[in-house]
Amino acid sequence: KMAEKQEEPSNTQNGEPDNAEEGEEKKKKKLKREDLPPFEIVTGERLPAIFFKFQFRNVEYSSGRNKTFLCYVLETQGKESVTSRGYLEDEHAAAHAEMAFFNTILPKCESNLRYNITWYVSSSPCVTCADRITETLKKNKNLRLTIMVGRLFMWEEPEMQAALKKMKSAGCKLRIMKPQDFEYVWQNFVEQEEGEEAKAFVPWEDIQENFQYYEEKLAEIL
């Protein structure tokens, strides 16, 4: 029941007008800033606390948690470094958040720039997304990707394990989020109440045990 209640708000976030406006903004930005790397810099985009508390929980059985939330920090190193951050979720992009990142945030890697990317994702990628990550990293040697995940998705499945191993061999760093990482996401990517003191991150009861549980599983797989 709780799961249903908490997922309802996500539909209201999916309004079309936003996207139309974004398109216009993008055009304006492109005209003004030809010299910048070809991605949109999203600032002040934060996810509602209720989504974070539900989706990012590193529970063992993730019932009702069938969406991926992906918070990213993208550092582009050229003549000068540019850092951008934001978050994506599955619905916004009509694709899994991982795919959406490559399609919308980082559509093309410029070979003369280095990209350091860190994702904080509620769960590890599905097989298709894992394969896309592997391909992208093999193609773009100037791209470094670290993925911090709250939970492992379908990790018992042999093809999933194989896909994660391939990601690792393509140079992707895969890590399980520690309590400190959840706190980092809370501070940097979650909406804080207007006008109030920023609320401190409150770890859930089994956060440390669940982290250790998933860390062992990941070590076994990789």
Residue with tokens 């934001």: 86
| Residue 156 burial (10 A CB sphere; 0-12, 13-18, 19+) | exposed
Distance CA 65, CA 56 (A): 9
Task: Provide the greatest CA pair distance for the chain.
Answer: 52
Instruction: Catalogue the E-assigned strands of 47-185.
Output: 69-77, 81-89, 114-123, 143-151, 173-176
Q: 108: how many CB neighbours lie within 10 A of its CB?
A: 10
Closest CA to 71 of 188, 178, 172: 188
Tokens of 114: 């280095």
Q: Which of 25, 98, 183, 209 is catalytic?
A: 98
Task: Respond yes or no: is residue 156 known to be catalytic.
Answer: no
Closest CA to 85 of 112, 105, 113: 105
Q: Which residues are designated catalytic?
A: 98
